[in-house]
């Protein structure tokens, strides 16, 4: 089982082109298994957890409800005054059924320096509504920014301080913080075609922080997962935690996402911010759960990976670990990208010192791979194995077309500049 779980992480790192990925499986007594893959110091690294932050904000709301300072059926305006969406109920904000827009008006908040609550309220006057209250589920980051302000006003202190004093401190989550600590993992975005990495922005999201600001570690999220399974009734009454776990919509409760698994329904949340992906899920009955953290903008389904770790899925044909591209060889310059064989779209990616050519229409089909040998791109697997990929360039050095064993690949369908303009391809495509 241990080897199978490590294989799951290694497969995710290789196929998802992740700089690093860490994960753990736990129960009510502690960590059952933990592992890491890629370029990381181990499982103690701090990563951004994105929307897992929402689960902490939701617990703070429930604490206020239990203390009698709010009712879940209160309209937002009762706590924030005459603001946009003043008629939206606290309950509907928690379950993403308020009908408000998904994102705040203005620049993309996840990549921009955050504004204060006055600016957030002024920019969102309710005109962005997409549905009537309760009409349907519509995920809203804006809603959680506003819920955080409700908590802050009731507590008389900033949201970040309330989180620290009421949740992080009592639970001993000492490695969870508003901003990254020294040694935290950098956030990376990987170019789809070349494999070259770029650092993602590190932002303080201001008034939107309750929706996705926090940084944490595997160990701290194991503690949070144990809390969600009912291990700390002194922090939130068990009845309130159970209430959060009931479906309002098929896959969402009050601040918790609900995910069907072979053993039942797991509760938790996924998270993403530029440069990071995360997921935490736990079975409230058995206390068995899993957590995954990665510093990549995209490349995996974190929720699915958590389920695979919990189940210990077996992995066949483990690929070589992914290695970031430092620079493209001169022979490959201008090649990675979108290509066409007739009307068939293909992608050409530089990956682990080779070029992979794959169909976009049938992405699971085995493709072609070419590697540089003595300055020539030779096929090493697929239909073109042993053949040479010829690169035809214009006088200015730009790529005109590619050709391999009479297969001609062009930047646009049936490019008239290529040797075989127009007409249909003469045989099924390679691969």
When pLDDT is averaged across residues 395-401 and rounded to a whole number, the result is 94
Contact 305, 23 (CB under 8 A): yes
The C-alpha atoms of residue 10 and residue 13 are separated, in whole angstroms, by 5
Convert the pLDDT of each residue in 230-284 to its tens digit: 999 999 999 999 999 999 999 999 999 999 876 789 999 999 999 999 999 999 9
pLDDT at 270 (0 to 100): 98
Contact 405, 370 (CB under 8 A): no
**Structure confidence at residue 314 as a pLDDT band (50, 70, 90):** low
Convert the pLDDT of each residue in 167-178 to its tens digit: 999 999 999 999
CATH topology of domain 21-311: Beta-lactamase (3.40.710)
pTM metric for this prediction: 0.91
CA angle 163, 167, 171 (to 5 degrees): 145
CA R_g for the chain: 25
Within 107-183, where are the H helices?
117-123, 141-155, 159-163, 169-171
pLDDT at 126 (0 to 100): 93
More confident residue, 236 or 314: 236
**233: nearest Cα among 245, 222, 241, 221:** 241
**Structure confidence at residue 420 as a pLDDT band (50, 70, 90):** low
pLDDT at 344 (0 to 100): 92
State yes or no: pLDDT of 430 exceeds 80: no
Can you read off the two tokens belonging to residue 380? 């090493």
CA 324 to chain centre: 19
Contact 413, 424 (CB under 8 A): no
**Cα torsion angle, 214, 216, 218, 222, sign:** negative
Convert the pLDDT of each residue in 63-98 to its tens digit: 999 999 999 999 999 999 999 999 999 999 999 999
**Which whole-number Å values give the CA distances from 194 to 252, 265, 306, 355, 362, in the listed order?**
38, 39, 28, 9, 21
Mean pLDDT score of the chain:
93
Residue 224 in 3-state DSSP?
A: helix
Convert the pLDDT of each residue in 107-154 to its tens digit: 888 888 899 999 999 999 999 999 999 999 999 999 999 999 999 999
- Please give the full DSSP string across 156-174, using - where no structure is assigned: TS-HHHHHIIIIIHHHT-T
Contact 66, 240 (CB under 8 A): yes
Measured in residues, the chain has a length of 431
pLDDT at 422 (0 to 100): 35
Domains of the chain, residue spans: 21-311, 330-409
The C-alpha atoms of residue 8 and residue 19 are separated, in whole angstroms, by 15
CA 361 to chain centre: 24
Strand partners of residue 270 = 279
The C-alpha atoms of residue 152 and residue 144 are separated, in whole angstroms, by 12
The C-alpha atoms of residue 302 and residue 294 are separated, in whole angstroms, by 9
CA angle 134, 82, 210 (to 5 degrees): 65
């Amino acid at each position: 089982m241990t080897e199978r779980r490590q294989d799951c992480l290694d497969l995710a790192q290789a196929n998802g082109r992740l700089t690093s990925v860490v994960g753990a499986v736990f129960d009510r007594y502690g960590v059952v298994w933990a592992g890491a893959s890629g370029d990381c110091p181990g499982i103690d690294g701090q990563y951004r957890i994105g929307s897992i932050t929402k689960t902490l904000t939701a617990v703070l709301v429930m604490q206020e409800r239990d203390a009698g300072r709010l009712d879940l059926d209160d309209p937002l305006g009762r706590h924030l005054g005459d603001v946009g969406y003043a008629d939206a109920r606290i309950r509907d904000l928690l379950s993403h059924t308020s009908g408000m827009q998904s994102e705040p008006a203005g620049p993309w908040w996840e990549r921009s320096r955050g504004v204060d609550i006055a600016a957030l309220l002024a920019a969102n006057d309710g005109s962005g509504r997409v549905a009537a209250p309760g009409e349907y589920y519509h995920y809203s980051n804006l809603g959680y920014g506003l819920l955080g302000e409700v908590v802050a006003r009731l507590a008389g202190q900033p949201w970040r301080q309330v989180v620290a004093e009421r949740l992080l401190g009592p639970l001993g989550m000492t490695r969870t913080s508003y901003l990254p600590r020294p040694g935290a993992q950098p956030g990376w975005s990987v170019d789809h075609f070349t494999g070259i990495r770029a650092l993602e922005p590190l932002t303080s999201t201001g008034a939107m922080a309750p929706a996705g600001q926090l940084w944490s570690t595997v160990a701290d999220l194991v503690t949070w997962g144990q809390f969600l399974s009912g291990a700390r009734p002194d922090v939130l009454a068990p009845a309130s935690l159970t209430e959060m776990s009931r479906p309002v919509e098929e896959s969402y409760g009050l601040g918790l996402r609900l995910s069907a698994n072979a053993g039942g329904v797991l509760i938790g949340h996924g998270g993403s911010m530029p440069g990071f992906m995360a997921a935490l899920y736990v079975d409230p009955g058995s206390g068995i759960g899993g957590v995954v953290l990665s510093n990549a903008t995209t490349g995996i389904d974190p929720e699915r990976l958590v389920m695979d770790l919990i189940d210990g899925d077996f992995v066949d044909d483990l690929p070589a670990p992914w290695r970031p591209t430092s620079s493209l060889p001169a022979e490959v310059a201008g090649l990675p990208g979108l290509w066409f064989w007739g009307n068939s779209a293909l992608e050409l990616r530089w990956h682990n010192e080779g070029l992979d050519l794959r169909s976009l229409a049938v992405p699971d089909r085995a493709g072609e791979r070419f590697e540089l040998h003595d300055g020539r791109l030779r096929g090493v697997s697929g239909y073109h194995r042993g053949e040479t990929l010829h690169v035809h360039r214009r006088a200015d050095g730009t790529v005109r077309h590619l050709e391999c064993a009479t297969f001609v690949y062009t930047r646009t369908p049936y490019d008239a500049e290529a040797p075989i303009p127009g007409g249909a391809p003469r045989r099924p495509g390679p691969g």
